[in-house]
Amino acid sequence: MPTSPTRPPIGATAPEVHLRDEAGNDWRLDGHLGQTVVLIFHRHIH
């Protein structure tokens, strides 16, 4: 049975995030220090 992920405390440092955007460009969370960032994940189905 899968376990539920734990929530980090409010104000905790976010983990390192390295993704590709819809255009295939690299995107890193650490390039946005001090800014509010909202990540939206969606499944791309062909």
Whole-number Å distance between alpha carbons of 8 and 14: 9
Q: What pLDDT, in 10s, does the model give residues 12-40?
A: 888 888 988 889 999 999 999 889 888 88
**pLDDT value of residue 46:** 65
- Residues 3-17 have a mean pLDDT of 82
Domain ranges of the chain: 20-46
Do 27 and 37 meet the contact criterion of CB atoms below 8 Å apart? no
**pLDDT value of residue 25:** 93
